[in-house]
Amino acid sequence: MSLNKIPTKDRESFTEHLQRSNRILALCGAGLSASSGLPTFRGAGGMWRNHEATSLATPEAFEADPALVWQFYSYRRHMALNANPNAAHFALAELARKRPNFVTLTQNVDGLSQRAAHPASQLHLLHGSLFDLRCTEFYCDYSEKDNFTDPIVPALAIPKDSTQPMPSTTDNTGEEASKSLAAAMQGNKASQEGKDVDISDAGNPMPSVSPEDLPHCPRCQKGVLRPGVVWFGEALPVKTMSAVDKFVEKADIDLMIVIGTSAMVWPAAQYIEVARGRGARVAVINMDTQDGERNLTKRDWFFHGDAGTILPDILFPVIGDISAQLKG
pLDDT in tens, 50-73: 998 889 999 999 999 999 999 999
Mean pLDDT, range 244-251, rounded to an integer: 93
Average confidence score pLDDT of the chain: 87
In 3D space, the residue among 327, 328, 324, 308 whose CA is nearest the CA of residue 91 turns out to be 308
The pLDDT score that the predictor gives to residue 4 is 65
The pLDDT score that the predictor gives to residue 184 is 47
Give the CB-side neighbour count of residue 306, counting CA atoms within 13 A.
9
Better pLDDT: 265 or 320: 320
The pLDDT score that the predictor gives to residue 291 is 57
Say if residue 158's pLDDT is above 70. Answer: yes
Better pLDDT: 16 or 167: 16
Helix axes 307-314, 87-98, angle to 10 degrees: 30
Is position 127 annotated as part of the catalytic site? yes
Q: What percent of the chain has pLDDT over 90?
A: 67
Please state, in angstroms and rounded to a whole number, the distance separating the CA atoms of residues 297 and 305.
19
Mean pLDDT, range 127-152, rounded to an integer: 96
Say if residue 168's pLDDT is above 80. Answer: no
Helix axes 238-250, 270-277, angle to 10 degrees: 20
Q: Is 102 helix (H, G, I), strand (E, B) or coil?
A: strand
Say if residue 79's pLDDT is above 60. Answer: yes
In 3D space, the residue among 279, 282, 283 whose CA is nearest the CA of residue 251 turns out to be 279
- Please tell me which residue in 78, 89, 118, 127 is annotated as part of the active site: 127
Say if residue 250's pLDDT is above 90. Answer: yes
Give the angle 253-3-82 at the CA atoms, nearest 5°. Answer: 80
The pLDDT score that the predictor gives to residue 42 is 59
The pLDDT score that the predictor gives to residue 323 is 86
